[in-house]
Amino acid sequence: MRKFDTCFFERYAKLTLTRLLDDSFNHLINKDRPDLQSPDHRTLGIEVTRAMEESKKAADMLLGEMSGLQQCPDDQKPSPHFDLQLQQILDTGYGYGLDCGQYIGARELEYWNLALPLRRILESKISKAANGFYGHFDSLGLYVFCKDDLTDESVNETCSFVTELQKGNDIRYDTLYLSEISNLYVCQLHNGHAQIKRFPISPAQRYQFFIDAI
């Protein structure tokens, strides 16, 4: 089993895209600039990031929610091998006391410190894309793990914010993926308008994504 590392989120994002949207995402490879991209390094690129308070406490809470285990009643535990798989998670060094929401992630503290609240991370990623930092792709996407709960209104406001920031940019994101743990919002950004679809993610699905991503 792979140890927890900075590619965990890329693997988790790829799993959600493949299993919730289209299995064609399964061919994406994990590279840098951007994090997920088609093998030809041209057709599709997706940058993956986190939007949350800049603290280890917020990171711990996000991880607990992503695991699908926090506040999950015994009769909703998503696997008959739950205890064994929980121990496997602990053995990776990824988490300690996962069932009570406490984690060890000191190795990744610097990585967590790169996270920014949603508005600031969007500004940063859009600026980098416009400057060619992520290269040139036929289609460019941005996948954001969001710690804060999102409403339909806030998703619409976020899309409007992104559209305004990207106005006039030669290189821009075509699709914005907002992963609010229990929902994945897929926002297609075209001609100043956004088409938004919501895909629910159950605790059992989150747990399986989590297990498969580590």
pLDDT tens by residue, 131-174: 999 999 999 999 999 877 788 899 999 999 999 999 999 999 99
In this prediction, residue 79 carries a pLDDT of 54
Query: What's the pTM?
Result: 0.80
Task: Look at residue 135 in the predicted model and tell me its pLDDT.
Answer: 94
What torsion do the CA atoms of 35, 36, 39, 41 make, to the nearest 10 degrees? -50
pLDDT of res. 198: 96
Q: How sure is the predictor about 12, in pLDDT bands with cuts at 50, 70 and 90?
A: very high
Task: Pick the closest to residue 180 from 149, 206, 155 (CA basis).
Answer: 149
**Which residues make Cβ contacts (< 8 Å) with residue 188, sequence separation at least 6?**
174, 175, 194, 195, 196
Confidence (pLDDT) at 98: 42
Judge whether 45 and 134 are in contact, CB under 8 Å.
yes
Residue 111: what pLDDT?
Answer: 47
Question: Which residues make Cβ contacts (< 8 Å) with residue 91, sequence separation at least 6?
Answer: 1
